[in-house]
Amino acid sequence: MASKAKAKLSLVFLLFSLVLLLSNLALATHDPERRDDEGNPEGPKRRLKECMRQCDRREGQEQPSCRRQCRERYQREREEQEHGGRGRGEERESNDSDEGSEREQEQGQQESGHPYLFEDQHFTARARSQHGRLRVLQKFTERSNLLRGIENYRLSILEADPQILVIPNHLDAERLLFVARGRGTISLVHQDRRESFNLQRGDVLRVPAGTTSYMINRDNNEKLVIAKLLQPVGVPGEFQPFFGPGGEDPESFYRAFSTEILESALNTRRDKLQRLFGQQRQGIIIKASEEQIRSMSHREEGGRSWPFGGESRGPFNLLNKRPSQSNQYGQLHEVDARDYRQLQDLDVAISFANITQGSMEAPFYNSRATKISVVVEGEGYFEMACPHLSSSESGGQGKSSPSYRRVSGRLRRGTVLVVPAGHPIVRVASSNQNLELLCFEINARDNEKYPLAGRRNIMNQLEKEAKELAFGVPAREVEEIFRQQEEDFFFRGPGQQQQEGGRGDA
C-alpha cells in the first residue's frame, strides 16, 4: 500500500507520534497523584492544595467561590474514595458466592464505609448570607443505590439569625417542617387569604407543595433552626424554590418573562417594572427591623386552637404530646396521621427521642418504615445490623444464611442517619450530654416498632420449643437472658455504673 519513501516518512512520523504517545502513557502511569487516588487518601488533599493555589491567582471577587468549589470537589473525592472504593476493587466471584444473597447492592460501598450516615460535607448550601443559611442534603441515591426506597425524599436545614425574614417563595415539593430551635412565624399565602402561625421548638407543620410561604425569626437573641423533609411533586427527587418577590438576588421569576408580557399582565409601564424587579440584592435571608418583626409576629395563637377546629392547618407540637415511652433513661414522642391529619397522604410519621446522658435506646427495628433521623442536640453513637451490606467473607463457605454487618458511627448535632426498614438499630447518648434525635419515618402506615431487648422484647413471645431449637441451648437459658433487662425501651448505657447484680464483673 505504501511506497518505500512514503513508508520511511511514515516511520519518522510514527516514531515522533510514539514518543508523544508513550510519554503520555508514562506520565499517566507514573502520575504520583493518580497513584494517590488508588492507594492513598492524600491524593484529593494534594489536589485541594493545588486548586486553592490556582484560586489565589484569580481576582479578589472570584476567590471565595473558587475556593468553595475546591472544597466541594475535595469532599466529593474523599467521599468517593471512602464509599466507592470497594466497587472497583472487589471481585465479582466473591459476590456470587453460594449464599446467593443479593450482594449487588454493595456496589459503591467499602468494607469500612456505609451509606447510612450523613455529615456536614453531604449538605450543599442553597442559600447563604451573613444572616443565615439553608442547606440541602444530597440525594439519597447519589450516596447509594441501597437508599433508592427513599429517593423521592429530600432533607434540608434552615438556620436563621434573630430578626430575619426568609423571602416569600414556593417549592415544587411538599414540605414538612420541624422546629428544632427558636421562635418564628410562618405565613402561608392562599389565593384569597393568608394564614400566619407562630412556631416554637417541637412544632411540626406541613406546607403543601406550591404554597407561597415566608418565615421570620421573631426572637431577638436566639437562632431559628428548622429541619424540613421535602417530597418533590414535579421532578422526582429534585426541587427548586420559586421566588416571586425579589429582584436580582434572589432573582424574581417575574424577570424570566419578557417585558411585553409583564407590561400587559401587570398593566404597568416597563420603567416601573424594572424598578420593582431590580432592587433586591440581599439574598434570600434578610435582616428586618425590630418594628417589622414585631408587626409580622402573629398576635393571636389561632393556630393553636387546632385540633378542635379541625379545619386549621396550623402546627402540631410534638413535644407537648405525652411521650409514648418514658423513664429516667429517655423519652420518646411520636406523632402520626392520627394526631396530625396532614401526614396521611405523605405516609410519614415523626418522632423525637431524648436519650438521657449515659443512657441508650433499646435495640429495635421498624417493621415497615425507613427512618431519617437528624441529631438536634448532643452527642452519641449508633450501631446497626445490615444484611444488605454484609460481605460474603464474613460468612463461611458452607453457610447458607445471610450475615449482618455492623454499621456504626458517631452522632453529633446536624448528623443525619438513615435506618432502613427491618434493620436492628441501637442509639446511645454520650456520658455527658443528652442525645436528641428528630426522626422522619417514611412509609409509616401500619409501621410497628419491635424492641429486641427490655421488658417487652419480642423474643419473649417465642414458644419454648422455638427458643431451644432456634438458639440451640435450653429454653430456660434463653428466657433467663431475655428477661434480665427490666426496663422498657430506654436503658442505662454501656460503661455506666451498675445497680443491679446481673453483671458483677463487667
* 465-504 positions binding a copy of itself, by CB under 8 A: 465-473, 477-478, 481-482, 484-486, 491-496, 500, 502-504
The Cα 92–Cα 225 span in angstroms is 46
**Least distance between a copy of itself and beta carbon 141 (Å):** 11
Which of 46, 85, 86, 97 is in the footprint of a copy of itself by CB under 8 A? Answer: 97
Stretch that binds a copy of itself, among 299-307, 308-316, 319-327, 421-429 (CB under 8 A): 421-429
Residues 265-294 that bind a copy of itself (CB under 8 A): 265-270, 272-273, 275-277, 279-284, 286, 288, 292
**Which residues does 233 contact at the CB level (< 8 Å), separation at least 6?**
172, 173, 174, 209, 210
Stretch that binds a copy of itself, among 37-45, 110-118, 346-354, 417-425 (CB under 8 A): 417-425
426 binds a copy of itself (CB under 8 A): yes
Which of 362, 374, 435, 439 is in the footprint of a copy of itself by CB under 8 A? Answer: 362
Q: Which is nearer to a copy of itself, 222 or 488 (CB)?
A: 488
**For residue 143, what is its C-alpha cell?**
450516596
Report the interhelical angle of 475-482 vs 464-471 (nearest 10°).
100
The Cα 408–Cα 114 span in angstroms is 9
Residues 305-344 that bind a copy of itself (CB under 8 A): none
Which of 34, 88, 456, 476 is in the footprint of a copy of itself by CB under 8 A? Answer: 456
Residues 53-92 that bind a copy of itself (CB under 8 A): 61-62, 64-65, 68-69, 72-73
**For residue 445, what is its C-alpha cell?**
402506615
The Cα 379–Cα 358 span in angstroms is 10
Are 417 and 137 a contacting pair, CB within 8 Å?
no
13 binds a copy of itself (CB under 8 A): yes
In the block, which residue shows the cell 443505590?
145
CA distances from 86 to 91, 106, 233 (A): 9, 8, 34
**Would you call 467 helix, strand, or coil by DSSP?**
helix
Q: Which is nearer to a copy of itself, 257 or 306 (CB)?
A: 257
The Cα 487–Cα 356 span in angstroms is 14
Which of 220, 324, 344, 367 is in the footprint of a copy of itself by CB under 8 A? Answer: 367
Q: Which is nearer to a copy of itself, 202 or 247 (CB)?
A: 247
Q: Which is nearer to a copy of itself, 178 or 365 (CB)?
A: 365
Q: Which is nearer to a copy of itself, 7 or 27 (CB)?
A: 7
**Least distance between a copy of itself and beta carbon 232 (Å):** 8
Stretch that binds a copy of itself, among 8-16, 40-48, 332-340, 349-357 (CB under 8 A): 8-16
393 binds a copy of itself (CB under 8 A): no
49 binds a copy of itself (CB under 8 A): no
The DSSP output letter for 74 is H
Amino acid, res. 182:
G
| Total residues belonging to the chain | 506
**For residue 252, what is its C-alpha cell?**
424574581
CA distances from 68 to 126, 130, 175, 479 (A): 13, 16, 28, 57
In the block, which residue shows the cell 453531604?
122
**Least distance between a copy of itself and beta carbon 415 (Å):** 19
27 binds a copy of itself (CB under 8 A): no
The Cα 5–Cα 3 span in angstroms is 6
The Cα 493–Cα 426 span in angstroms is 11
Number of chain residues interacting with a copy of itself (CB under 8 A): 187
Which of 24, 295, 305, 324 is in the footprint of a copy of itself by CB under 8 A? Answer: 295
162 binds a copy of itself (CB under 8 A): no
Are 369 and 149 a contacting pair, CB within 8 Å?
no
The Cα 355–Cα 447 span in angstroms is 22
CA distances from 248 to 65, 210, 241, 251, 258 (A): 18, 22, 15, 4, 16
Contact flags string 371-390 toward a copy of itself, x per CB under 8 A: ------------xxxxxx--
The Cα 391–Cα 95 span in angstroms is 8
Q: Which is nearer to a copy of itself, 39 or 338 (CB)?
A: 338
Nearest to 222 by CA among 168, 252, 184: 184
Residues 176-235 that bind a copy of itself (CB under 8 A): 187, 189-194, 208-212, 214, 232-235
Which of 84, 85, 244, 323 is in the footprint of a copy of itself by CB under 8 A? Answer: 244
Nearest to 198 by CA among 179, 184, 209: 184
Stretch that binds a copy of itself, among 93-101, 155-163, 308-316, 318-326 (CB under 8 A): 93-101
168 binds a copy of itself (CB under 8 A): yes
Q: Which is nearer to a copy of itself, 182 or 358 (CB)?
A: 358
In the block, which residue shows the cell 417575574?
254
**Least distance between a copy of itself and beta carbon 247 (Å):** 6
The Cα 254–Cα 266 span in angstroms is 11
**Least distance between a copy of itself and beta carbon 320 (Å):** 26
Stretch that binds a copy of itself, among 108-116, 175-183, 197-205, 444-452 (CB under 8 A): 444-452
